[in-house]
Structure 1
Amino acid sequence: MSSRNELLQRIEELSSTIDQQKEILRNLETSRSDACMALNALSDPVARLPVEVASNVFTLCLPDDQVYPQPGPQTAPLLLLRVCRIWRDIVLSSPSLWATVHFDLRAQDSSQFAPGVAAWLGRTRDAPLNLHLSGSISDAITKVIEQHAPQMQTLKLRIWFNEGQLLEYVAPFASLRVLRLFGTRGITISECLQYLDSAPRLDELGIGSDYLPTGDPTPVLHTSLRTLQLWEESDCCPSLILQYLTLPALENLVISQSCGTDGNVSGFLARSSPPRLRIHIGGERKLQHFGLVPGLSAITVQCTHFEGGRFI
């Protein structure tokens, strides 16, 4: 009869042999997977393309019915991930496929979306980011926005509920060119001005709000903003923000029918004194306060009609 020590040694030898066989099996599985991928590449024209070209081809698969497509398992890029390993590798190495997106966060607790939003935006790497968020904004979502602020090119927020200050601290939006804040509740004029002040290259700002309490805002001088759009979605008048803005580079001022008091607009124009300015007015309004403004050498006033959330 074998001794206890002999049995223990035998068990150890068998365990070692099993581990070696497992390693051999893993290597065989990897070799078979590589062979299958190589076989698929022979019949897959996409796999034979350079990654940059394949990425451009996949870009044509993105939904074209919206400027900001919403993520979905039946649409690119998520759909492309499930085709094969080659396609998955190409999609995950193509930041541009993830860089324009709309997240609908209409839920009682939007923080549940934060991991998914963070994972999606993480795939954009350093690509220029065009982001549309709608719904409620939790602190967790706010931190995701702040993390990707430097690569934001376009930021569009339609907020139904804000759990606190929109941003704990306003991160530098060094590349932001277009900012639109609308359908908002609980965002102060001060926060809007902070956004504007943190985006030195901003070219276009649109504000349409349900509620913009004034608080104690700090006035902002912005030297690159060329287009300012103000539209009204309820009883609030977002043109109140004009009291705190000076925009010497402004070329287009768009105001909905009932936005803007004479004092707000005329004082703003007198401070800014843009050399060339087109003013688009929604509906019929009195135009006295668009008269002579010191330093204003050219002005064009166009009456437009505000319909369906846009000016026509």
Structure 2
Amino acid sequence: MQTVDGSTANLAGVSPSASSDLDIIGTLCRILTRSQVIISADLTTPHSCRSYLISYSVIEDEDDFSINTIIRERQEQLNAALQEISDLERVMDGIKNLHRQLIEKKDGITQSMNLHRRLVSGIWRLPTEVLSHIFVHCFPETSHISPPSKTLAPMLLTRICRRWREIAVGMPSLWRRLRLYSNEVGNRRWESIAFCYDLWLKRSRGHPLSLEVWCCSDDSNTILRGLIQPYINQISTLSIRFFPPTDKPELMLENLSALQELTICAYDSFLMPNIAQSISQLPFTMRSLKITFPVLKLHDFSAFTPLMARLTNIEVALDQMNTVPNILHLCPNLSSLTILTGVKQKMRASRPIIHTNLRSLRIAHDIWNTEHLSHLFDVLTLPNLRMFEVRYIEPSQIHALFDVLDSLPHPKSSGIDVQSWPHGDLRALIVRSNCPLKGLVFSGGVTPTDEQRAEYVALIPSLEVVVSRVAR
């Protein structure tokens, strides 16, 4: 092959691929040499200036012959230029192909280098069991994950290397939690999103599922329900948010044969009767019920009666404290109760109740209305209570939750008036219950005095009393 300086290169012993590359380079060099002749050719003629000034009538025969000769010469030059352009385009295609092959080669070299580096790295020698344990702790703090989230576990784990992908895909526990949005049904990417949802659920391989579902229109809810239908018997934990214009919330609560924990937030209080009816038909496996909105009234719980006897955990917002003894009466197996209330009316007289299974009681209340707590403490006896927490709710939170129109005065200080805190009634409850209380927590601005705290500890020396300005 001839090189740029005209010498001949010896290609003996050169691989076919390398020889082909050299051919491309040699051809390019020849084209560059020839093209310089074409590019540097002077296109000026004696007629160049005349052509714009004279008419055809004054052109003589000898001029005509000279011009025709120039035209033929230009045609030959044009043909030569077109040929060089064609040859150059062919070489450029070859260069592009060569560039692509070199990029692929570079990637292959990098991959091979990384592979061999991993072989001498400690983390890549970890047994599968150890990696599996690490993967479980890679989850984000959020309770549920919205795919496709390629930057978070477990999807991120499948993109590191083949071994990590195989381990992650083979761990059903990594694919048990998922958040689904029904408003994505109308999205132009819905097919891709639905495929991702389905692939995620398949990887759970029959293990119990924890799902969070955001429900909007009934049509989109129906489609979303159809997508999760093949996995309906795996759902053990379900959290549902109902947004208007949902009219049929019961659709998402049907045939949940393995459900154990249910959380509901219905932003339209008119949905509550249908939701209550559906809750009453939930399976015997149900153990935990949490309703963050709307606020429940006493008659709402009457619809839950078949379910209440099986529940061990309840978290609800109440419109009156008289509902608490009724809940305890309907739920003999209850071990944990969390209530939020902003009621201002005095608690009506209620029969004393002894609940032997309640271990945890948490109350969030309005700082200016503690009288109802006194009456509640008076009627309760909780011989198995281990944890009691009370915290203060800002008036603004009360208004948002209970839709109260009249405003309450904002407290002048972050602490409660110690005279209004029913210390004596809580102390009497602890004494009467003779319970193995381990933790007594005051948070969000509820601040008993040092003397009151000392009295609690005097009753139970091992008791831990925690006072925190921040609501836990």
TM-score when normalising by structure 2: 0.44
1:69-104 deviation digits (Å, cap 9, x = unpaired): 433122222223233333332222111111123345
Does residue 70 (structure 1) correspond to residue 156 (structure 2)? The answer is no
**What are the residue-to-residue correspondences of 1:17-96 with 2, within 5 Å?**
40=115, 43=118, 50-63=127-140, 65-71=141-147, 72-96=149-173
Which amino acid in structure 2 is aligned with residue 158 of structure 1?
A: R
> What does residue 209 of structure 2 align with?
129
Match of 1:151 among 209, 217, 234: 234
**Could you tell me how far 1:175 is from its partner in structure 2?**
5.4
> What does residue 305 of structure 1 align with?
392
Which amino acid in structure 2 is aligned with residue 141 of structure 1?
A: L
* 1:165–1:157 distance in 2 versus 1, CA, 3 Å: closer
Distance 2:281 2:118 in 1: 54
* 1:55–1:257 distance in 2 versus 1, CA, 3 Å: same
8 Å CA contact retained: 2:294, 2:317: no
Give the alignment's Cα RMSD to 1 decimal. 4.7
**Could you tell me how far 1:190 is from its partner in structure 2?**
4.3
8 Å CA contact retained: 1:184, 1:208: no
**Could you tell me how far 1:167 is from its partner in structure 2?**
2.6
Structure 1 stretch 121-130 or stretch 203-212: which is displaced more?
Answer: 203-212
* 1:41–1:172 distance in 2 versus 1, CA, 3 Å: farther
SS in structure 2 at match of 1:138: helix
Distance 1:265 1:107 in 2: 50
Distance 2:186 2:137 in 1: 34
Does residue 280 (structure 1) correspond to residue 363 (structure 2)? The answer is yes
Does residue 205 (structure 1) correspond to residue 289 (structure 2)? The answer is yes
> What does residue 247 of structure 1 align with?
331
**Could you tell me how far 1:206 is from its partner in structure 2?**
1.1
**What are the residue-to-residue correspondences of 1:117-196 with 2, within 5 Å?**
117-136=197-216, 138-161=221-244, 162=246, 164-167=248-251, 170-174=254-258, 176=260, 178-185=261-268, 187-192=271-276, 194-195=278-279
**Could you tell me how far 1:160 is from its partner in structure 2?**
1.9
**Could you tell me how far 1:239 is from its partner in structure 2?**
9.3
8 Å CA contact retained: 1:221, 1:246: no
SS in structure 2 at match of 1:126: coil
* 1:261–1:156 distance in 2 versus 1, CA, 3 Å: farther
| Bigger fraction of residues in helix | 2
**Could you tell me how far 1:201 is from its partner in structure 2?**
3.6
Query: Percent of pairs identical after alignment?
Result: 21
Which amino acid in structure 2 is aligned with residue 132 of structure 1?
A: E
1:184-212 deviation digits (Å, cap 9, x = unpaired): 43643443453464243433321022488
SS in structure 2 at match of 1:166: helix
> What does residue 14 of structure 1 align with?
none
Return the structure number with greater relative CO, CA threshold 8 A, min gap 6: 1
8 Å CA contact retained: 1:230, 1:238: no
Does residue 98 (structure 1) correspond to residue 175 (structure 2)? The answer is yes
Which amino acid in structure 1 is aligned with residue 265 of structure 2?
A: F
Match of 2:317 among 226, 231, 246: 231
Any gaps of 5 or more consecutive residues in structure 1? 1-35
SS in structure 1 at match of 2:206: coil
Distance 1:78 1:164 in 2: 34
Match of 2:308 among 203, 208, 222: 222
> What does residue 7 of structure 1 align with?
none
**Could you tell me how far 1:124 is from its partner in structure 2?**
0.9
**Could you tell me how far 1:181 is from its partner in structure 2?**
0.9
8 Å CA contact retained: 1:207, 1:230: yes
TM-score when normalising by structure 1: 0.63
Which amino acid in structure 2 is aligned with residue 246 of structure 1?
A: L
> What does residue 8 of structure 1 align with?
none
* 1:51–1:259 distance in 2 versus 1, CA, 3 Å: farther
8 Å CA contact retained: 2:286, 2:307: no
Q: Which has the larger radius of gyration?
A: 2
* 1:149–1:250 distance in 2 versus 1, CA, 3 Å: same
